[in-house]
Amino acid sequence: MDGVKDRAARNRVSVALEHLKWPFLLAAVLVVVSAMVVAGMVPSLLTAPKPALAAPSWQVPPAQLSQPSGVLPLDKNAPLPVPAQVSRLLDGPLKPDGAGSMTGVVLDASTGQVLFDRDANSNRIPASNMKLLTAVSALKALGPETRFTTRVVAGSTPSTVVLTGGGDVLLGAGASVPTAVMGHAGLSSLASDTAAALAKAGVKGPITVQVDDSLFTGAPLNPAWSLDDVAAGETAPLFPLAMNSGRYAPDSTTGPRPQDSALTTAQAFATQLAAAGVAVNPGVVRGKGVPAKVLATVQSATVGEQVDLMLETSDNFLAEDMGRMTALASGRKATYDDATAAVRQRLGELGIATDSMQLADVSGLALDNQVSTRQFAEVVRAITSGPETALRAALDGFPVAGLTGTLDNRYAADGTAAGAGLVRAKTGTLNTVIALSGYVVDADGRLLVFSFIGNGLDPGAAGNKVAMDRAATVLASCGCRG
């Protein structure tokens, strides 16, 4: 207290310091405790946040998806089902709900051994199971990585451009979407590139738009189809270019379709060209351009991607387009008759017997088609485990029971739920026809392929689809060894 000489003053300072001592001590204690908590020395006073745990390996997203290379037995030593046991288990559920009959076959995918046979060689109306034949034929003829090109070429005069179809019926009205299948190639992108090419060439317009749909020949509408089905929008006259697989909107799956998809697409292109700043004359007509003078192009999704979309959604219009393109790749004309001939040709090259087949279209809408369940099972086997690896591209297109495509709302009924997520099969439905062909791994890890077809059935009888779903579920659930 050297700075305070007066005793009374020193006393007053001492008293003041005494009053200040305890607040300072309390503050010091709190600082020390806080430091101890931070250091983790007093966990009971305050729990420090724990570091985040690393996600287990099975929850870590893969860096890239593997490409399908086939479906093989999960266990190479998986036992083979006993045919008598398979027959015993399938005979019960595989029965029609009312009139008609059901045929079927089950094969071991690895060996081809027949495990179940109910009139498997009898010809049946297959409905949309026909698309399986189209899928393997397209993949065989075209290759899964092929893309279709839509071109804009110069016309006969500088002020004319010609939109030229190259087989892409999945064109979108807007910009191209590289990650999409439908709409992968967009008319807006094509129009923008065309406008840039016209500007570079010094063409000011107004421009006349024409369309060249001469890639496909013959009648645009198959005479084997019911006009009632056409009116209902099950399909439409076929041309080598269309938007939304021949529908007015990409999310439309039912209802009337454009009856001239080539002109409809060209009109939409003219609208996009005007939006890109080009003066465009009203009206669109058919015409031929100069092939060597290409102004702009867009390319479709791959054939493999289109085949998968066709199988998953059972798209009739896309299937017929694939048939025509298969015919062209097989050295034939792009007619309905040449499409069925090309499918027959490519199936023969795969070693599948075709002499007994009757093919009226390649989508399955025609009632004149006749194919056996054995032939369908052989096609599925060629896809899953045959030597032609290009066919593996169709694996992703098979609808998954209870989850995707035309099987998304099935496999909830009694006796079918166990097949959800396991059965993968192409469906087929007409008024008196139900079909289901696909593959499944049984409880012992054996890969089986199957085909079931019902004909002469009571229209709308709900039990028919359930019967086939139960039959497929039996295969998924059993080892079938007695």
Instruction: Please say whether the beta carbons of 132 and 382 come within 8 A.
Output: no
Does the N-terminal peptide bond of residue 206 adopt cis geometry, omega within 30 degrees of 0? yes
426/69 Cα distance (integer angstroms): 20
Q: Beta-carbon neighbour count of residue 447 at 10 Å? A: 21
Say which of 245, 261, 314, 437 is annotated catalytic.
314
Active site residue 437: no
Q: Which residue has the tokens 């690896």?
A: 389
Question: How is the chain split among helix, strand and coil, in percent rounded to 5?
Answer: 35, 15, 45
Active site residue 57: no
464/433 Cα distance (integer angstroms): 9
Torsion, Cα 360 362 364 365, to 10 degrees, reads -70
Buried b (16+ CB within 10 A) or exposed e, 240-270: bbbbbbbbeebeeeeeebbebbbbbbbbbbb
Say which of 128, 137, 176, 245 is annotated catalytic.
128
Token pair, residue 21, equals 């001592």
| Signed CA dihedral, 56, 57, 61, 63: sign only | positive
CA dist list (Å): 239 to 67, 144, 165, 219, 262 = 33, 22, 8, 10, 6
Q: Would you say how long the chain is, in residues?
A: 482
Q: Beta-carbon neighbour count of residue 178 at 10 Å? A: 10
CA angle 58, 67, 393 (to 5 degrees): 135
Write out the DSSP string of 279-301.
Answer: -EEEEEEE----TT-EEEEEE--
80/78 Cα distance (integer angstroms): 7
Instruction: Report which residue type is found at 274.
Output: A
Q: Which residue has the tokens 């000011």?
A: 204
CA dist list (Å): 295 to 142, 192, 291 = 26, 11, 10
Token pair, residue 91, equals 């005979």
CA angle 221, 227, 228 (to 5 degrees): 145
Instruction: Please say whether the beta carbons of 279 and 367 come within 8 A.
Output: no
268/150 Cα distance (integer angstroms): 14
Instruction: Report which residue type is found at 199.
Output: A
Q: Which residue has the tokens 């087929």?
A: 428
Active site residue 188: no
Token pair, residue 77, equals 């030593």
Active site residues: 128, 131, 314
